[in-house]
């Protein structure tokens, strides 16, 4: 350790996953130390394990923070969320297509104003951190400045963020439309300026098949081929009216999924929000392309879109890679805990019980794997970036009361937290070793 290294030690209950609990015996999928310690050197995790073993060896040369009875986890990851929709959340009364027109497209037009975009990026990132979320894959608006200002704010906070400009050249208000050619130039400029800069990555973001012409989807595919390390994010098969519209716009396509495939948009770095109304051939195609189906349960329920069929998508021999996300502002909470609570209920409606180990794995390492970032985030393994969240198990009287009934057993504690927890539980959020959010009390 050099003399300049800033060493911190966080003591508390420490949990980190190493494997998908669905694929091996659940107890072997994680490490958990009831009195644990995470040692951070500057921005990375140096040591993790039992406090009794680690603390004496530090010789008092670390700034110690003790979080008695708190749970220290890797920061949560939200792989599908719209930062321009902070004021669209909780908009009454309609399903996807009407909701887009009545609320979302109206709000997104305001992002031609850089001041509005900047203020919203600040608010949005504050919300993520207050909810323990340290990485997200984010839709911006069609305006390149909305991406610039988002990345600038994320970069100032040293956050691991993925984002992209929505590409839309039809079926939207004129103020929100670009053209295929303009989007090519703008995306290329944004990729050149931001992709792989500090902790940022670019996502080519055709909004969905309805708002892009074939020419623009072709451009999106070309961008993906020209920049193999960028992501692709879009929406797929969220709502039945949407699916029918795609069918009428692309009458030759075998399916909605096949539309994206035809333009080279499906691959292991493709994040597809929703994936509810899929036929068998589409599931096979997603499996074959190793694309990611992003489950957005609070949004799907709020907009009445349908029930994500986890068991069907995970079925052998063609399991699809899964991620779990908020989809704010269709989604109704920034909290990944609330998102996992809703996921649990949706799985129940489909006759499948989502274990708390699966839920906490998915919010951390599972989502990191979906983003191919598990070498850096989603885990407390030494060498990882020190992006983490400290959750207060006594955040509410109800949580204390309910967790008491778990008698210290991890599975019971996690399940109570998954179902009853929210942003009130976030005691602190660390980003690259720095405390980026601290709860007021
Ligand atoms: N499909 C196309 N755009 C959107 C959006 O902004 N939110 C949701 N939930 N679905 C979409
Ligand atoms: Zn979305």
Helix (H, G, I), strand (E, B) or coil at 144: helix
Instruction: Give the distance (Å) from ligand 1 centre to CA of residue 368.
Output: 23
Ligand nearest to the CA of 331: 1
CA–CA dist 385, 177 (Å, integer): 38
Strand partners, 139: 82, 164
| Residue to substitute in 105, 212, 238, 299 for testing ligand 1 pocket (most ligand atoms within 8 angstroms of CB) | 238
Does the beta carbon of 211 sit less than 6 angstroms from any atom of ligand 1?
A: no
**Nearest Cα residue to 245 out of 325, 326, 170:** 170
Kindly report, residue by residue over 243-252, the tens digit of the pLDDT. 999 999 999 9
Q: Whose CA is nearest to atom 8 of ligand 1?
A: 330
Q: Is the CB of 207 under 6 A from ligand 1?
A: yes
Report the residue among 330, 331, 333, 339 best suited for mutation to probe ligand 1: largest number of ligand atoms under 8 A from its CB: 330
Q: What is the mean pLDDT of the chain?
A: 97
What's the pTM value of the predicted model, to 2 decimals?
A: 0.98
Q: pLDDT > 70: what percent of the chain?
A: 99
Closest-lying ligand to the alpha carbon of 236? 1
* Alpha carbon of 286 to ligand 1 centroid (Å): 20
Quick one: which of 8, 5, 15 has its CA closest to 55?
8
Residue 8 contacts residue 40 (beta carbons within 8 Å) = yes
For ligand 1, whether the C-beta of 339 sits within 6 Å is no
Query: pLDDT confidence of 441, banded at 50, 70, 90?
Result: confident
261 lines ligand 1 (CB under 6 A): no
Q: Is the CB of 99 under 6 A from ligand 1?
A: no
Ligand 1 binding pocket mutation candidate from 100, 249, 276 (most atoms within 8 A of CB)? 100
Instruction: Give the confidence band of 3 by pLDDT, cuts at 50, 70, 90.
Output: low
Residue range 63-77: mean pLDDT, rounded: 97
| Ligand 1 close to Cβ of residue 238 (< 6 A) | yes
The helix or strand, by DSSP H or E, that contains position 231, with its residue range, turns out to be strand 231-236
DSSP state of 406: T
With a 6 Å cutoff on the Cβ, whether 80 touches ligand 1 is no
Alpha-carbon dihedral 148, 323, 386, 355, rounded to 10 degrees = 150
CA distance 20 to 186: 38
Q: What is the pLDDT of residue 4?
A: 85
**What average pLDDT does the segment 19-37 reach?**
97
Q: What percent of the chain has pLDDT over 90?
A: 98
The response to whether residue 82 sits with its C-beta less than 6 Å from ligand 1 reads yes
H/E segment holding residue 30: strand 30-41
How far is residue 168's CA from residue 104's CA, in Å, rounded to a whole number?
Answer: 14
Atom of ligand 1 nearest to the CA of 303: 9
Q: Is residue 184's pLDDT more than 80?
A: yes
Alpha carbon nearest to ligand 1 atom 3, residue: 207
Residue identifier of the C-alpha nearest atom 7 of ligand 1: 330
DSSP type of residue 366: I
Q: How far, in Å, CA of 39 to CA of 435, rounded?
A: 14
Ligand 1 contacts CB of residue 235 (under 6 A): yes
Query: Does the C-beta of 269 come closer than 6 Å to ligand 1?
Result: no
Beta carbon of 67 within 6 Å of any ligand 1 atom:
no
| Dihedral angle sign, alpha carbons of residues 18, 393, 328, 187 | negative
**Digit-coded pLDDT (tens) for 156-173:** 999 999 999 999 999 999
237 with 243: CB under 8 angstroms? yes
In tens, the pLDDT along 396-418 reads: 999 999 999 999 999 999 999 99
- The pLDDT of residue 1 is 52
- Nearest atom of ligand 1 to the alpha carbon of 139: 6
Distance, CA of 159 to chain centre:
13
Q: Is 104 in the pocket of ligand 1 (CB under 6 A)?
A: yes
User: 414-418, long-range: CB within 8 Å, 24+ apart, which pairs?
Assistant: 414/15, 414/356, 414/357, 414/359, 414/360, 415/356, 417/71, 417/337, 417/356, 417/391, 417/393, 418/337, 418/340, 418/341, 418/344, 418/356, 418/359, 418/360
Q: Is 327 in the pocket of ligand 1 (CB under 6 A)?
A: yes
Strand partners, 9: 39, 64
22 has a pLDDT exceeding 70? yes
Which ligand is the nearest neighbour of the Cα of 104?
Answer: 1
- Residue 190: which residues within 8 A CB-CB, separation 6 or more? 144, 147, 148, 164, 165, 202
Please state at what angle helix 336-349 crosses helix 410-420, rounded to 10 degrees. 100
Q: How far apart are the CA of 130 and the centre of ligand 1, in A?
A: 24
* Ligand 1 closest atom vs CA 242: 1
Contacts of 200 (CB under 8 A, 6+ apart): 151, 154, 155, 160, 161, 162, 163, 194
**Strand 231-236 vs strand 200-206: parallel, antiparallel, or unpaired?**
parallel
Tell me the CA–centroid distance for residue 198 and ligand 2, in Å: 25
- Rounded CA gap, 178 and 183, in Å? 6
pLDDT value of position 2:
54
Q: What is the 85 CA–ligand 1 centroid distance (Å)?
A: 10
pLDDT 10s digits, 281-321: 999 999 999 999 999 999 999 999 999 999 999 999 999 99
Over residues 315-329, the mean pLDDT reads: 98
- Residue the block writes with tokens 């603390």: 55
Contact call for residues 81 and 137 (beta carbons, < 8 A)? yes
DSSP annotation string for 95-142: -HHHHIIIIIHHHHGGGGSHHHHHHHHHHHHHHHHHTTEEEEEEE--S
The alpha-carbon radius of gyration of the chain (Å, integer) is 21
């Amino acid at each position: 350790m050099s003399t300049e290294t800033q060493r911190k030690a966080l003591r508390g209950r420490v949990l980190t996953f190493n494997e998908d609990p669905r694929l091996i015996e659940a107890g072997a999928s994680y490490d958990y130390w009831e009195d644990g310690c995470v040692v951070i050197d500057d921005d990375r995790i140096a040591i993790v394990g039992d406090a009794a073993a680690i603390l004496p060896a530090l010789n008092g040369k670390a700034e110690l923070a003790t979080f008695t009875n708190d749970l220290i986890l890797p920061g949560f990851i939200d792989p599908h969320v719209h930062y321009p929709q902070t004021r669209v959340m909780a908009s009454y009364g309609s399903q996807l297509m009407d909701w887009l027109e009545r609320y979302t497209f109206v709000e997104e037009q305001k992002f031609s104003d850089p001041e509005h975009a900047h203020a919203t990026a600040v608010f949005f990132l504050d919300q993520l951190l207050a909810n323990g979320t340290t990485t997200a894959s984010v839709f911006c608006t069609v305006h390149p400045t909305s991406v610039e200002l988002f990345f600038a704010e994320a970069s100032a906070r040293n956050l691991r963020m993925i984002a992209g400009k929505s590409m839309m050249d039809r079926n939207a208000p004129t103020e929100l439309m670009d053209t295929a050619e303009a989007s090519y130039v703008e995306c290329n400029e944004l990729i050149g300026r931001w992709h792989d800069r500090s902790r940022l990555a670019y996502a080519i973001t055709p909004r969905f098949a309805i708002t892009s012409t074939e020419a623009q989807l072709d451009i999106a595919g070309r961008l993906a081929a020209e920049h193999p390390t960028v992501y692709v994010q879009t929406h797929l098969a969220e709502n039945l009216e949407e699916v029918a519209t795609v069918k009428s716009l692309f009458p030759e396509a075998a399916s909605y999924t096949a539309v994206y495939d035809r333009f080279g948009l499906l691959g292991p770095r493709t994040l597809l929000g929703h994936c509810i109304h899929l036929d068998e051939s589409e599931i096979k195609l997603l499996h074959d392309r190793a694309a990611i189906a992003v489950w957005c349960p609070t949004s799907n329920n709020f907009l009445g879109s349908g029930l994500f069929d986890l068991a069907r998508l995970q079925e052998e021999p063609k399991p699809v890679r899964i991620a779990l996300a908020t989809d704010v502002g269709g989604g109704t909470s920034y909290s990944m805990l609330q998102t996992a609570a809703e996921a649990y209920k949706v799985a129940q409606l489909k006759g499948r019980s989502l274990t708390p180990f699966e839920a906490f794995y998915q919010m951390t390492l599972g989502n990191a794997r979906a983003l191919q970032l598990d070498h850096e985030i989603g885990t407390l393994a030494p060498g990882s970036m020190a992006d983490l969240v400290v959750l207060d198990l006594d955040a509410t009287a109800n949580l204390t009361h309910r967790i008491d009934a778990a008698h210290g057993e991890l599975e019971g504690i996690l399940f109570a937290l998954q179902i009853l927890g929210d942003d009130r539980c976030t005691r602190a959020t660390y980003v690259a070793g720095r405390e980026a959010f601290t709860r007021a009390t």
